[in-house]
Chains A and B, each alone.
Chain A
Amino acid sequence: MPNLLSAKDIRKSYKVSNNPLKKGQLEVLHGVNFSLNAGQTLAVVGESGSGKSTLARILVGADKPDSGELFFEGKDILKKRNKFEWYKNIRMIFQDAAASLNPRATIRQSLEEPLHNGTQYTASQRRERIAEVLEMVGLRPEYAERYPHTFSGGQRQRIAIARALLLRPKVIVADEPVSALDVSVQAQIINLLLDLQDQLDLAYVFISHDLGLVQHFSNKVLVLNNGTQEEYGRVSDVFSQPKSEYTLELLNASAGYKKSIT
């Protein structure tokens, strides 16, 4: 039985400048490998510029890797012609929920989009499904008629989760889903994600810089430093016996602030 999702030697570089006269590539991912099963959570950890957001974008199909293979249920989805099958199964939750919702569309209009493109549902079936997912994330169905700006940050993130759930995906990639939220609201969203994982047997790829959350939330962890995969393994192993210098530094820095001067 193959893994639900696995990545082999994913590499990515960007052009340094748009100027066609200037050459030069900046490699942001130097070969990433991992595997993930249903109901599991893989945390991707790193500081700003580590390439963790690029990896997230590659996993959901928003960006193309230069090389590497990405297997979903045993098939290399990078080679597939029909990308939408991929988009349907691996969905993204953006860090800034407000920016990921069209400001001039009602919540219903935004939630209609995946159903319109990805299903043969009739208008009333779409209405029903939208009501269903809104309730799953703890919002009232009638909120669908409102515009994004009338909601609080936590509610907007719930809407973004509802949007990700609409097409019954198997994997959700969440790019720092709570880092923009107040701490008292963060816990609600984390709990919601855990509940949904239990109910729907979802696999999560959880991009984060917060090791406390990672430890609480994940089974596996992948540490990125400047695009290099420093470490990959079970959370309990990596956190108790880090193999790389960098992981150790990161762990020490995250253990709350300790006075280093006397």
Chain B
Amino acid sequence: MSLLQVENLSVDFKTDSGIIPAVDSAKIAIKAGQVQGVIGESGSGKSVMALAIAGLLSPAATMRADLFNLDGHDLTRMSPAERQKLISSNISIIFQEPTSSLNPSLTIGYQLDETIRFHGGGTRKQRYDKAQELLSQVGIIDGKRRYKEYPHQLSGGLNQRVMIAMALACEPKLLIADEPTTALDVTVQSQILDLLLKLNEEHNMALMLITHDFSILSETTDKVYVMYGGQIVESGRTYNLLSQPYHPYTKALLDSVPHYGLHYKKGRRLFNLKGSTPSLDHLPVGCYLGPRCPYANKQCVQPPELRSLKGRKVRCHFPLLEEDN
């Protein structure tokens, strides 16, 4: 039984230049305590999908889904207020820029206290104790001092820990982390990932890790969704998907970045896709990767369906099987 099950989730943005499809019929299922990854570049729709699931879309967006089950409740049959309440008590989200997610003119303590008050509250003393407990859970040792400090007095890594502490205040069953380490230095990055995985294990809290970087997914996630142009183009078990990508885009993402530790001849040219990622208001006809894809042919002007292939889902007319790799 899945904690979260979403089918045919679509999000459209209404703008002056027409309707922009930011997410196109996405299908997501997460079991309790599972860690999943969503990978894509800017404009792939990964962040919008996260916001849609967390119920944080802007009013300019319209969201549709054939199925939206959370913790056994059918959200499509609820009133917006009920839905919002259920989502906010079960799903938390943290973002890329911890320092800009926090209010610079309020103390860490004040902001943490406000969140705790919103999710249950208690007396002043109880809330303070709860705050200290949350800070220690996210590995902040001098919580009493940090409680009184302002966001600019903390490093980026510490601010991200504070954001995680606030996310934990509602004891969520699912934590969505949207590029949680992108703005941080590499040495801090692994500490934050360690923390997220520790919380995942201790609280049986499912984790959805959104990133553009494969290197942080391989050891953390069980399952990966690859997004391009608002669509899921490939999904499957992380290990299988990384060791043998079926979709040309997945292959490009893997091969266009030299990974440290693998041995390259200096000056070897990297595999790359021509052109740049399409903007969502100028998507190409047929397969969205078509114009950039080295394997594309005439058939690719027909939009490919997401189909099952050897335990994976692939949206491609010509998936890369053994002989091509």
Contacts and interface: CB of A to CB of B under 8 A. Distances in A.
User: Does B bind A?
Assistant: yes
A256 interface: yes
Nearest to B272: A187
Interface stretch (B48-56, B116-124, B181-189): B181-189
Interface string A157-191: 00000000000000000000000001111111011
Contact of A250 (B186, B201, B212): B186
Interface stretch (B80-88, B102-110, B259-267, B317-325): B259-267
A181 to B, nearest CB: 9
Contact of A152 (B194, B260, B276): B276
Interface string B288-325: 00001000000000000000000000000000000000
Interface in B166-188: 185-187
Contacts of B272: 184-185, 187-188, 191
Given A209-B185, A216-B270, A255 B256 contact: no
B198 interface: yes
Contacts of B258: 212-213, 215-217
Interface string A186-224: 111011001101100000000001111111111100000
B219 A183 contact: no
A185 B186 contact: no
Contacts of B259: 212, 256
B197 interface: yes
Contacts, number: 120
Contacts of A188: 272, 274
Contacts of A98: none
A251 B260 contact: yes
Q: Which interface residue of B41, B218, B256, B274 has the most chain A CB atoms within 10 A? A: B256
B276 A257 contact: no
Nearest to B42: A182
A197 B268 CA distance: 12
A194 B270 CA distance: 10
Contact of A190 (B215, B252, B270): B270
B76 interface: no
Nearest to B39: A183
B264 A215 contact: yes
B65 interface: no
Given A182-B42, A187-B270, A215 B260 contact: yes
A79 interface: no
B260 A211 contact: yes
B36 to A, nearest CB: 15
B269 interface: yes
Nearest to B189: A253
B3 interface: no
B260 A259 contact: no
Contacts of B220: 257, 259
- Interface SS of chain A: helix, strand, loop or mixed? helix
A22 interface: no
Nearest to A47: B185
Interface in A204-262: 209-219, 235, 249-251, 253-261
Contacts of A255: 260-261
Given A185-B276, A187-B271, A212 B260 contact: yes
Interface in A130-159: 152-155
B101 interface: no
B185 A48 contact: yes
B229 to A, nearest CB: 12
Contacts of A197: 267
A257 B218 CA distance: 8
A47 B187 contact: yes
Nearest to B253: A183
Nearest to B276: A152
Contacts of B185: 47-48, 209
B190 interface: yes
Interface in B211-225: 212-213, 215-216, 218-220
A255 B216 CA distance: 9
Q: Which interface residue of A190, A219, A249 has the most chain B CB atoms within 10 A? A: A190
B215 A256 contact: yes
A182 B260 contact: no
B277 interface: yes
Given A183-B212, A217-B266, A250-B186, 9 more contacts: A47-B185, A155-B276, A183-B256, A184-B272, A209-B186, A210-B260, A211-B260, A253-B187, A257-B215
Interface of A: 47-48, 152-155, 182-188, 190-191, 194-195, 197-198, 209-219, 235, 249-251, 253-261
For the complex of A and B, list the 7 residue pairs with the smallest distance between their C-beta atoms, beginning with the closest: A187-B256, A187-B272, A216-B258, A256-B215, A187-B270, A47-B185, A212-B260
Interface of B: 41-42, 185-187, 189-190, 193-194, 197-198, 201, 212-213, 215-216, 218-220, 249, 252-253, 255-262, 264, 266-274, 276-277, 292
